[in-house]
Structure 1
Amino acid sequence: MGIVNKISSFQDSRFPWILMIIVSAGLVLLAHSFFQHYLYMPPCEQCVYIRFAFLCMTLGGLIAVINPKNLVLAFIGYVLAFWGAIQGILYSVKLAKIHAAVHSDDPFGVQGCSTEPTYPFGLPLDKWAPDWFLPTGDCGYDNPMVPDGVELSSIQSFFINMYQDGWYLIPSKQFMSMADGTLIGFGVCFLVLLAMFVCKVITLVKKS
């Protein structure tokens, strides 16, 4: 039971929650500022849903980090973080299927991509912050779309040429698409959260 107590104590500290905040919010900022604006990769419907899922995890971390030892705050943090991770997994799986379909020999008839998003709870995020949450790209096609007349810097040209065939973890090998990457990321987060939560519950039961 030593490992259980260690993991339970770990989640009582602010470190795991701060780490989740930094990773989740950082990935959203990277997608928006670097890939969308700097490299002209417009987000698709599933992409903005993935951003929303990461921000739900960020919000959960912000609530829990206030006082991780407070059961109410920790519970709210877990609910938001788990919900974001699960939704993120579902969005990533759907995007991965679309990506595979549009890059197959028969790309026609692909469903699941719209320019009119529908967010959970009816949140009009695309109206509140269209630059962040309004999809302007096609699902499965994450190539740079440089507007006519734009003068690129040498660094921009380097990265745009790197991603000309789409976003991949290793572009030259077309290894691991963005959807595959986010799926792994959400999956790892879910497993870590699950381990923390289960160990916390076991510790509380033992104390009672």
Structure 2
Amino acid sequence: MLERLARWNRSAGFWLILIVLCIVLEGAALVYQYAFYYDPCVLCVHIRAWILGILVASLLGLILRTKRVGLIISNLLVLLCSLGFVERSYRTLGTEMGFLDGACSMNPNFPSFLALNKWLPSVFEPLTSCGYTPWVIPQILSMAQTLMVLSVVMALGMLVMLISSLRRPADSFNL
């Protein structure tokens, strides 16, 4: 089973699926912001930044997937970004549901070397306070709940992929 996952992990298709997923998620966020007029809070902006990190790491994975070290590094980077995605999604859900005390500012506190809110304010500038996310499926599933499920599935999937990439493959694999 792990060998089959490792082969899939080395395929361009796997990495292209991750890239498309990230583009779809970023696009959906922008549709909610600009078509449905739901302004992003600082937590939403952080989630967008983590998804951008997953996208960049996935592009790296697409390029380096044929080298074992490159594949391991790419899997690790996507996993780390996915864990950031999980943490921000949990904080968003906790703030929305009231099980975490959610006081958030309008300052995204990006480091100066990665000032996404200055470089691309139309995507990474928080415009509202935390505490509410729109419905994805009306009265059933909020965006915070959707992001929580998606982020956990992605992190667990990437953990499995990292484990599969650490095993020595049976077929030929370049170092």
What TM-score do you get using the length of structure 1 for normalisation?
A: 0.75
Are the structure 2 counterparts of residues 49 and 181 from structure 1 closer, same or farther at C-alpha, using a change threshold of 3 Å? same
Map 1:60-79; keep pairs closer than 5 Å: 60-79=57-76
Matched, 1:187 2:152: yes
Corresponding residue for residue 137 of structure 1: 128
Compute the displacement of 1:46 (Å): 0.3
In 2, the alpha carbon distance for the partners of 1:129 and 1:201 equals 37
In 2, the alpha carbon distance for the partners of 1:193 and 1:63 equals 15
Which one of the candidate residues 6, 9, 12 is aligned to 2:4? 6
How many residue pairs get matched?
A: 172
Map 1:38-53; keep pairs closer than 5 Å: 38-53=35-50
Map 1:108-123; keep pairs closer than 5 Å: 110-119=101-110, 123=114
Unaligned runs of 5+ in 2: none
In 2, the alpha carbon distance for the partners of 1:199 and 1:175 equals 36
Identity, % of aligned positions:
26
Whether the aligned pair in 1 keeps the contact of 2:64 and 2:74 (CA below 8 Å) is no
Map 1:1-208; keep pairs closer than 5 Å: 3-32=1-30, 34-101=31-98, 110-119=101-110, 123-142=114-133, 167-171=134-138, 174-204=139-169
In 2, the alpha carbon distance for the partners of 1:184 and 1:46 equals 16
In 2, the alpha carbon distance for the partners of 1:5 and 1:132 equals 39
In 2, the alpha carbon distance for the partners of 1:120 and 1:16 equals 31
Whether the aligned pair in 1 keeps the contact of 2:102 and 2:130 (CA below 8 Å) is no
Whether the aligned pair in 1 keeps the contact of 2:40 and 2:126 (CA below 8 Å) is yes
What TM-score do you get using the length of structure 2 for normalisation?
A: 0.89
Whether the aligned pair in 2 keeps the contact of 1:89 and 1:186 (CA below 8 Å) is yes
Higher alpha-carbon Rg:
1
| Structure 1 runs, 4 residues or longer, greater than 6 Å off | none
Unaligned runs of 5+ in 1: 143-166
